[in-house]
Amino acid sequence: MYVMRKKKGIDIPLESRQETLIKLISKLTVLCLISSLPMLLYALYIIFYWILVDVDVINHRSQKTTVDSFDYNMYIFWLFLCPLDNIISSITLYLNFKFSEAHYSKCCKLCDLSCQYCCVLCAKRSLKKKIIGQIRREYAEESKLSLIRESHSSGSIQ
């Protein structure tokens, strides 16, 4: 059970079903981020390389040599990135299953705990807002009812 204590405010405990969902959400989030990392690196490489190519064109270098070097560098980069991407995707797919829970907890424990902490904070914040909204609605209804009772009781006395 996740119990978070603050200096001020209410402590909202989560149910076991909510804890199970948070664990699942954090596991899938961590694995998804890890599996998308090689393509993110590839995209950053392309962006920064094109910035360098644009700087070379501005410096009046030959555009043909920069394009040729870009093709060669992209080929070398892609040659190493595709197998790396396939290996990482295979590992994250393996870690997704229930039978690999021990391996997942060894490899991704810190990332998973951080993600679970963030999910718990979001869930508790959402629950707190719902509880406060419900209390405000009940208070408003009670105050309306008390005003109606007061007006009926004062009207019957006159």
pLDDT in tens, the chain (158 residues): 455 555 466 677 888 898 999 999 999 999 999 999 888 888 887 787 777 766 655 555 555 555 555 567 677 777 888 888 899 999 999 999 999 999 999 999 999 999 999 999 998 888 888 888 888 888 888 887 777 777 777 655 44
In a domain, 48, yes or no: yes
Among 90, 123, 125, 106, CA closest to 23: 123
In a domain, 40, yes or no: yes
In a domain, 2, yes or no: no
Does the pTM exceed 0.85? no
Lookup: tokens for 152: 């009926």
In a domain, 138, yes or no: no
In a domain, 10, yes or no: no
In a domain, 129, yes or no: no
Q: How many domains does the chain have?
A: 1
In a domain, 156, yes or no: no
CB of 61 closer than 8 Å to CB of 53: no
Coil, strand or helix at 12: coil
CA distance 109 to 106: 6
Domain of residue 28 covers 16-124
